Amino acid sequence: MSIKIGLAGNPNSGKTTLFNGLTGATQYVGNWPGVTVEKKSGKYRKNKEVEIVDLPGVYSLSPYTLEEVVTRRFILEDRPDAIINIIDATNIERNLYLTTQVLELGVPTVVALNMMDLIRKNGDTLDCKKLSKLLGCPVIEISALKGQGIDEVTQKAIELAKQRKSQEFTLPVMEEIKVSLSEIEKMIESSKVNINTPKRWLAIKLFERDEEVVKSLKLNHSVREKINQCIEQCEKVLDDDSESIITGERYAYIGNVVGQSVHKAKKGSDTTSDKIDKIVTNRILALPIFMVIMWLVYYISVSSLGTIVTDWTNDVLFGEMIQGNIQSFMETANVAPWLTALVVDGLIGGVGAVLGFVPQIMLLFLLLAILEDCGYMARVAFIMDRIFRRFGLSGKSFIPMLISSGCGVPGIMASRTLENDKDRKMTIMLTTFIPCGAKLPIIALFAGALFGGASWVAPTIYFMGIAMVIICGIILKHTSTFAGEVAPFVMELPSYHVPSAKGVLIHMWDRGKAFIIKAGTIIFVACGIIWFLQSFNWSLEMVDADQSILASIGGVIAPIFTPLGFGDWGAAIATVTGLIAKENVVATYGVIYGITDATEESADLLAMIAANFSTVSAYSFMAFNMLCAPCFAAIGAIRREMGSAK
């Protein structure tokens, strides 16, 4: 029989690591609440009849964010056969808040206690049997990162699912609240509404004035009035609003549970994470440290190690092995010269010029993944909140911007996690100023051609993007549309830890594969078209590039860019084709400067570019292509998220 198991838990609890371990799926493991916006599923590797559904990381089942809505609707409407609730044992009080809400829904639940090794390292003890007895459900220790206990917890969930028994859990509350909830339950029963959800949970949600539950039950006006009177009476007696009353009761219960099952060792000093944070989040040192780290990231990926690998890829792999051999084969086979030129100079030359930078891009993504997985990037969001808040943006806006360093489209979509509509729209408009992976080849190409691979070029372009975010944020915040207070930014700072090799490599591949796929599709076709346009004139006669269709079109456009310092037709065409996909900027130069000697392709391409630019105009060209309109895919994503073509 088919069994569906949901994975529920807080962000950073190890939930997605557990999902990867159970399914073998290449799911990105991140430190950011909101990375997994939609639920994702996979088959349990030891039993293909069991479907594992990875739900977004949430702190509660109140419908305040998209993640909470997705998770709650899945449990209520899809009704999984069982739930594995993964808990970070080092933050058990906060994690149990969600657990109490999950248990109330009546779905068979197993609690998976993760990171128990850190509990023991801190000298604390946690009694699993006691915790299981108090919660009324199985509690099993696991290590999602090391793969320990994950099959045991899954087998227990399967066992509960096969029993088809509802979970029984009732949150203990004060007598006054109990009376009010009982009255509300009776009113639900008297209304004879068709429900499959435990009445106690519905009563609590109605007591909290949960709008989604009120709408879904479709209670008549008189019943709603009676319920409201019941709530107001309880609020008056306890002198607090209804939602705060329930929250207080949950934490009172959690405090009792933790008090009986967890014994913490007395600590006289800060943890390692606390000691590191005193330096990296220091008001004075935080920003310089971030700048130095980003300089190192770009130095390693663009100016040193990345350059060595890229030069080999361009000169040896694409130059000698691929382009040179294919050209020799086609000439030996007496293939028509125009077809040889199309394949060798157009398709391979253009696509190769782009793919040659894959090592640098993959290395950049690898380093960024390490920074994210170890917990540092969560601190950067905290640091940037101090700066962004002054200019009308929340620190939470940095999360979509960080994702945009891979690709602008998922970065734009990640803005959905911002609760405030004004903040969300501002973030969408500003996110693509951050250089994405597709723009890195432009930086690498021009840095190598005009600046001798200087290590300062790439970081200054990156920080120019952040500066533009701030400047445009100030401008937008002074318009009536975006005026107002910035939404408060609350974010958990996970403990520093050694990144998992699997998680880092998955993250690197997830970001890098889109670049490679695009090179094999959009850029492949674009290179063919560009080659045709730069090889023929309007009479369809083969000519030099300077007399081609492309040159004549570029000549019309070029004067627009003359004030920026790059008014030749090649630069104009490369900038325009970059609107289709930013990788096309490099691909266009690869085709326009078609190199006859494939073994010298990389050096000759750099020499050609150096001959047409000065250092100032080259930096101007890079800056313009970093900050102008993003690619069509990103523009389409912006239109969808904003709900307006304007």
The pLDDT tens digits for 523-560 are 777 778 887 887 888 888 887 777 888 888 888 888 99
Q: Any idea which of 36-40, 198-202, 315-319 has the lowest mean pLDDT? A: 36-40
Q: Any idea which of 396-400, 594-598, 620-624 has the lowest mean pLDDT? A: 594-598
HSE-CB for 518 with a 13 A CA cutoff: 20
For residue 302, the model assigns a pLDDT of: 73
For residue 517, the model assigns a pLDDT of: 75
Residue 310 CA to residue 302 CA, distance in Å, equals 9
Mean pLDDT of 177-191: 84
Nearest CA among 70, 588, 48, 179 for reference residue 351 = 588
Task: Give residue 590's pLDDT band: very low, low, confident or very high (50, 70, 90).
Answer: confident
For residue 597, the model assigns a pLDDT of: 36
Backbone phi, psi, residue 185, to 5° = -60, -45
Domains of the chain: 3-163 (3.40.50.300), 175-263 (1.10.287.1770), 289-642 (no CATH)
For residue 33, the model assigns a pLDDT of: 40
User: What residues pair up with 82 in beta bridges, in sequence order?
Assistant: 5
Residue 527 CA to residue 588 CA, distance in Å, equals 7
Task: Give residue 598's pLDDT band: very low, low, confident or very high (50, 70, 90).
Answer: very low
Backbone phi, psi, residue 76, to 5° = -75, -40
Task: Give residue 491's pLDDT band: very low, low, confident or very high (50, 70, 90).
Answer: low
CB 587 within 8 Å of CB 442: no
Q: What is the pLDDT of residues 401-434, one digit of tens each?
A: 877 877 787 778 777 767 677 888 888 888 888 8
For residue 31, the model assigns a pLDDT of: 36
Q: Which parts of 398-507 are beta strand (E)?
A: none
pLDDT value at 178 more than 90: no
Residue 549 CA to residue 539 CA, distance in Å, equals 9
Task: Give residue 192's pLDDT band: very low, low, confident or very high (50, 70, 90).
Answer: low
For residue 199, the model assigns a pLDDT of: 82
For residue 489, the model assigns a pLDDT of: 61
SS3 308: helix
CB 633 within 8 Å of CB 581: yes
Contacts of 115 (CB under 8 A, 6+ apart): 14, 88, 89, 90, 143
Q: For residue 153, give Cα distances in angstroms to 89, 150, 283.
A: 15, 5, 44
Helices then strands, counting H and E runs in the chain, come out as: 32, 8
For residue 226, the model assigns a pLDDT of: 86
CB 65 within 8 Å of CB 419: yes
For residue 85, the model assigns a pLDDT of: 94
Question: Locate tokens 């007399």: which residue?
Answer: 547
**H or E element, residue 88:** strand 82-88
- Provide the residue count of the chain: 646
- Token pair, residue 41, equals 């599923």
Mean pLDDT of 126-133: 89
- Of 14-23, 246-255, 491-500, give the range with the top mean pLDDT: 246-255
pLDDT value at 270 more than 70: no
User: Which is higher by pLDDT, 216 or 431?
Assistant: 431
Render 191-230 in DSSP notation, one character per residue: HT----S-HHHHHHHHHTT-HHHHHHHT--HHHHHHHHHH
User: Which is higher by pLDDT, 591 or 311?
Assistant: 591
SS3 25: coil
- In this prediction, what percent of the chain has a pLDDT beyond 90? 7
CB 78 within 8 Å of CB 55: no
SS3 380: helix
pLDDT value at 24 more than 70: yes
Q: Any idea which of 168-172, 246-250, 585-589, 591-595 has the lowest mean pLDDT? A: 591-595
For residue 396, the model assigns a pLDDT of: 74
Residue 568 CA to residue 585 CA, distance in Å, equals 14
Task: Give residue 83's pLDDT band: very low, low, confident or very high (50, 70, 90).
Answer: very high
- In this prediction, what percent of the chain has a pLDDT beyond 70? 87
Task: Give residue 621's pLDDT band: very low, low, confident or very high (50, 70, 90).
Answer: very high
For residue 110, the model assigns a pLDDT of: 93
User: What residues pair up with 616 in beta bridges, in sequence order?
Assistant: none
Task: Give residue 169's pLDDT band: very low, low, confident or very high (50, 70, 90).
Answer: confident
Residue 599 CA to residue 577 CA, distance in Å, equals 26
User: Which is higher by pLDDT, 573 or 39?
Assistant: 573
pLDDT value at 620 more than 70: yes
Contacts of 602 (CB under 8 A, 6+ apart): 311, 314, 315, 319, 356
Measured between alpha carbons, how far apart are the two ends of the chain, in Å? Answer: 51
Nearest CA among 192, 137, 139 for reference residue 163 = 137
Q: What is the pLDDT of residues 332-369, one digit of tens each?
A: 878 777 777 777 766 676 666 667 677 877 888 888 88
Contacts of 466 (CB under 8 A, 6+ apart): 433, 434
Please provide the average confidence, as pLDDT, over all residues in the chain. 80
What does the DSSP 8-state code read for residue 439?
G
What does the DSSP 8-state code read for residue 83?
E
Residue 354 CA to residue 521 CA, distance in Å, equals 12
Residue 320 CA to residue 17 CA, distance in Å, equals 42
User: Which is higher by pLDDT, 391 or 237?
Assistant: 237
SS3 392: coil
Q: For residue 72, give Cα distances in angstroms to 98, 100, 102, 162.
A: 11, 13, 9, 22
